[in-house]
Structure 1
Amino acid sequence: MRAPQRYVGLQVLRAIAALAVVMYHATVFVFTRLHVFFAPIWRCGSNGVDLFFVLSGFVIVLSTQRLQGTRDGWKIFAERRLTRIVPLYWIATLIKVVLLKFDATANLTSDLSFASISKAVFFLPSVNALGDIQPVLNVGWTLNMEMFFYLLFTIALFFRANVFLCVGLPLLFLSAGDFLHIQGAGTAWTFYAQSIVLEFFFGMLVALAILRGKRLPAWLAWLAVVGGLYALFALLPPVWPKEIHTAWVQGIPAALVVYGAASLEGRLPHIPAWLIFLGDASYAIYLFHGLCGQLSPMLLVKLGIPSPVLSELGTVAISLAVGSLAYLWLDLPIMRWFKQHVLFHGKPVLHVQETLPRTGA
């Protein structure tokens, strides 16, 4: 079965995942900037990352169907991923470094040493000022995970091997780090030894099921989407501490959500254009929201209005606005430039975001 060119439902999931992470950090900023302790942190929002990882595994499999087994498939895949992910991430990291150089009081956790900045540029794990494994741009730890997944996938394509075995087995091996408590050893090399890496493989398996025509019935697909979203964003953290084997607690509901949404493709009601846009802009929103979202509580402090609600609403509004502008003014022009100038064997390289291109694009 041939997968459709564009999974509109997954665009909505990307928008939901990005908004959830923004809202999570909006509640964190209340504590770090307003210094008031009567607004709870919405920890469920961090589960948007799990949804992103499963989506990534799903999309990478579908978008590389014609590359698997080809001689230069690995080159094309690596170039697509590097040109898609790296430029905007480097820009966001550079902005973070410049901001912290001009305003040292804004630096709560980041390490601006040459070593840390260099590791951030090359997507290598580094330890921040609090002893946590986190790059200069705080959300960049997820990009470190993504790039590691892309590396494994590139190697599999290079050897023209079965991507499910060559990617799945290493991820399964690394996921045992949670059970063996390797990840808490305090060294950067243990960063990948945690079960969350298995979520990429969950997404790959969902893609395999869709490619083989094993779609869920409509009623079951809706149940998977609604039930999975409820588990991710309303249930799991209070019941299951996040440090307990993330892939098996958050990853499975995330995989169910993606499987359900993919199964419903072509049977979904009309989806507003603005929601599709937020899905397209989700990468930029994710990268830039931490740089601008703290403006809201900081401004309220100066105005003497320590309102958690206003702070959180302001953070969400500013993050969506800045992220959308970054998408329109930076991300889209960069993607268009690479599409027009980067060639492989005389053929323009088509760029894949976290969803496949529109038909005819």
Structure 2
Amino acid sequence: MYRDEENNSGFIGRLEALRGIAALWVAVGHSVIWLSIGPVSGVWSDADKQTFGVQALIRRLITYFFNGNAAVDIFFVLSGFVLARSIYRSTRSIAGYAEYATRRLARIVPALWFSLAIICAYLAVLFPGYAVMPGASNWFNGWFVNPLNWATVVDNATFVTPWLNPNAWTLRIEVLASLLLPAVVLLMGSKGWSRTFVVLGASLVVGWIYRGDNLSLLHYLYMFVAGAVIAKHGRSYSRALSERRELIAASCVAAIVLSNALLEPHSIEGDAVIVAASVGLIWSISFGVRANVLAALDARWSAFLGRISYSFYLLHFIVLYTVANFLLHVIPAEILIRWPLFVMLAGGAVSIAIAIPFAWLSFSLIEQPFVRIGKRISAPGRTAFQVD
């Protein structure tokens, strides 16, 4: 039986690769929505879904497979699993929790601030000024309407608003969930299903109550709890389901794609399907399956993308916006209107190619040094709330 290599901290390379592929999903999904196809400028609207034509159909198929909403759900379940797994392996104390929170912020905040610095530099130096661009979608035309000011920068740097970097809306939820997760693990306990059912059930009820609030932690909390459930119970079922792992993995990938195609993004029904599929997928990866459907997770490119995934996730938007804005200014409007999908695919490919080296620099010069600083905060030999 194949089992991914783990180091002493429990690191699983294929989970990191999954995070990289999910970040790529977000990038590709954004890359095909910045131009209108047909007369409708509102992407994901009912009218947009009713637009006919080869280009509209191809974009629809692309967004079924490369859906940023599904990727976010996977991120949250994966974070819940990785963090809860580390918490279960650690000694818990008040001092340990403070160190855990500090290290988690050191992991998340510096790369965000670096991305905001890049965005501010672009807006201050290269941005040609806001204008409603003919042929652009409402999604594209909705960004950077107001002039840059310090209040906006501070609000974005402190997670109040994500309007400088729209991908950063998930980070506020990630930070709050990370701070709450030790309490979730404590409530779930380390043995038995009864407390697990209570905590998971309560989080599902809360998610249902807040189902319309797509920027609230309470809407997504059950996703992190679902990840914690894998951390607590996943190994118990490893041997019993070993012969079905490949089928489970393939079924979970299919369920995610079908949910993207048939259900509304971030609806409670669509999210529930994706979260359940993410649980099965993460369980399959974590407890040893070499299924053909997961072969991409063992490739060098996905391993590399996994390492830089956080910086790539943060930086790709501004690179895409810069490339798209340039193309909107230099390509004649008749070409943008006639061949929008091909222009978007070309711009998306260029933006991804540019964002990758920038993400590597951010990973090397920002992420890694601050992760090391976070580790040094812990007292020598302390094992409380390890999160790396």
**TM-score normalised to structure 2 length:** 0.72
- Between 1 and 2, higher relative CO (CA 8 Å, sep ≥ 6) is seen in 2
List aligned pairs for 1:1-361, cutoff 5 A.
4=6, 5-31=10-36, 38-39=55-56, 40-41=59-60, 42-44=62-64, 45-46=67-68, 47-102=70-125, 103=127, 104-105=129-130, 108-110=142-144, 112=148, 114-124=150-160, 126=161, 134-153=162-181, 173=202, 175-176=204-205, 179-180=208-209, 183-184=212-213, 191-194=216-219, 196-212=220-236, 214=238, 217-233=241-257, 235-245=258-268, 246-264=270-288, 271-301=298-328, 302-304=330-332, 305-306=335-336, 307-338=339-370, 341=373, 342-346=376-380
Partner Cα separation in structure 1 for residue 226 and residue 346 of structure 2: 35
Unaligned runs of 5+ in 2: 42-50, 132-140
CA deviations on 1:128-177 (whole Å, 9 max, x unpaired) are xxxxxx543101111111011012135668xx765789999788656545
The alignment partner of 2:247 has SS state of helix
Partner Cα separation in structure 1 for residue 92 and residue 12 of structure 2: 24
Closer, same or farther in 2 for the Cα pair 1:262/1:6, shift >3 Å? same
The one-letter amino acid of 1:108's match is G
Partner Cα separation in structure 2 for residue 320 and residue 352 of structure 1: 33
What residue is the counterpart of 2:44 in the other structure?
A: none
Partner Cα separation in structure 1 for residue 304 and residue 326 of structure 2: 28
The number of equivalent residue pairs is 335
Q: Identify the range of structure 1 (273-282 vs 335-344) with the bigger mean alpha-carbon deviation.
A: 335-344
Partner Cα separation in structure 1 for residue 99 and residue 195 of structure 2: 18
Q: CA deviation at 1:101?
A: 4.2
Q: CA deviation at 1:58?
A: 1.0
The alignment partner of 1:293 has SS state of helix
Unaligned runs of 5+ in 1: 127-133, 357-361
Q: Is the 8 A contact 1:216 1:263 kept in 2?
A: no
Q: CA deviation at 1:84?
A: 1.0
Closer, same or farther in 2 for the Cα pair 1:96/1:60, shift >3 Å? same
The one-letter amino acid of 1:9's match is R
Q: CA deviation at 1:29?
A: 1.6
Q: CA deviation at 1:35?
A: 8.6
CA deviations on 1:155-206 (whole Å, 9 max, x unpaired) are 668xx7657899997886565455446745xxx9x72332x33111111111
Closer, same or farther in 2 for the Cα pair 1:82/1:166, shift >3 Å? farther
Q: CA deviation at 1:86?
A: 0.5
Partner Cα separation in structure 1 for residue 383 and residue 320 of structure 2: 34
Tell me the percent identity: 22
The one-letter amino acid of 2:317's match is G
Closer, same or farther in 2 for the Cα pair 1:177/1:204, shift >3 Å? closer
CA deviations on 1:283-328 (whole Å, 9 max, x unpaired) are 1111111111134444444133534444343344334334432333
Partner Cα separation in structure 2 for residue 92 and residue 349 of structure 1: 32
Q: CA deviation at 1:210?
A: 3.1
CA deviations on 1:223-245 (whole Å, 9 max, x unpaired) are 22222122213x11332223531
Closer, same or farther in 2 for the Cα pair 1:348/1:338, shift >3 Å? farther
Partner Cα separation in structure 1 for residue 29 and residue 386 of structure 2: 27
The one-letter amino acid of 2:260's match is P
**TM-score normalised to structure 1 length:** 0.76
Partner Cα separation in structure 2 for residue 317 and residue 215 of structure 1: 42
What residue is the counterpart of 1:129 in the other structure?
A: none
Q: Is the 8 A contact 1:228 1:254 kept in 2?
A: yes
